[in-house]
């Protein structure tokens, strides 16, 4: 089962991921503020998505939440940031998903479970979006997390 089939997400030609893949061309993998900015712009364009302030201790981490008064939903569902462990400079994208979806998300190649949360949720962290193969899984993973945050 592919990531698209997993949650019924459609990956259209105008999607953030498609634009990112095309923009890389033959130059090979890269990540920079422009690439990440495209992701942040796309995410903030989703209805009821707001950016939450991060603490100074969190450094370059950005937090995104659903804040939907009509549905009574307020939940952080996405974090992005630079992971500079072991001298590597990689970008990380993590989402909150229901625990029952975690094994399907891992088998679809969206990422790996990196933490457990209350109420039967887990944190799934993708491979670095600087890797074009990983980028193809970002949009369905993000749409699934966004949908679950609204439900």
Q: What DSSP element (H or E) covers 120?
A: none
Contact 42, 144 (CB under 8 A): no
Q: For residues 27 and 20, what is the distance between their CA atoms, to the nearest angstrom?
A: 12
Can you give the residue range of the structural domain that contains 136?
Answer: 3-150
Q: What is the pLDDT of residue 122?
A: 97
The radius of gyration of the chain's CA atoms, rounded to the nearest angstrom, is: 15
Q: What is the pLDDT of residue 126?
A: 86
State how far the alpha carbon of 133 is from the alpha carbons of 2, 18, 53, 104, 137, in Å: 14, 12, 30, 18, 8
Q: What is the pLDDT of residue 99?
A: 95
Q: What is the pLDDT of residue 33?
A: 44
Q: What is the pLDDT of residue 34?
A: 47
What length does the chain have?
Answer: 151
Q: What is the pLDDT of residue 13?
A: 36
CB atoms within 10 A of CB 64: 24
Tally the domains of the chain. Answer: 1
User: Could you tell me the mean pLDDT of each successive run of 10 residues in the chain, 151 residues long?
Assistant: 40 42 38 61 94 77 94 94 62 91 90 93 80 69 94 90
Q: What is the pLDDT of residue 2?
A: 43
Q: What CATH number corresponds to the domain at position 17?
A: 3.90.1150
Taking phi over 0 as left and psi of -120 to 50 as alpha, with beta for the rest, 119 belongs to left
């Amino acid at each position: 089962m592919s990531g698209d089939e997993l949650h019924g997400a459609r990956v259209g030609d105008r999607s953030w991921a498609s634009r990112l893949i095309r923009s890389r061309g033959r130059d090979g993998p890269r990540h920079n503020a422009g690439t990440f900015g495209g992701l942040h712009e796309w995410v903030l364009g989703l209805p009821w998505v707001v950016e939450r302030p991060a603490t100074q201790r969190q450094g370059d981490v950005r937090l995104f939440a659903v804040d939907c008064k009509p549905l009574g939903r307020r939940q952080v569902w996405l974090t992005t940031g630079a992971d500079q462990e072991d001298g590597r400079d990689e970008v990380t994208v993590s989402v909150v998903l229901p625990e029952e979806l975690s094994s399907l998300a891992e088998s679809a190649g969206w990422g790996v479970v990196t933490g457990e949360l209350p109420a039967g949720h887990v944190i799934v962290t993708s491979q670095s979006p600087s890797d074009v193969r990983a980028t193809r899984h970002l949009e369905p993973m993000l749409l699934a997390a966004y949908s679950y945050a609204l439900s």
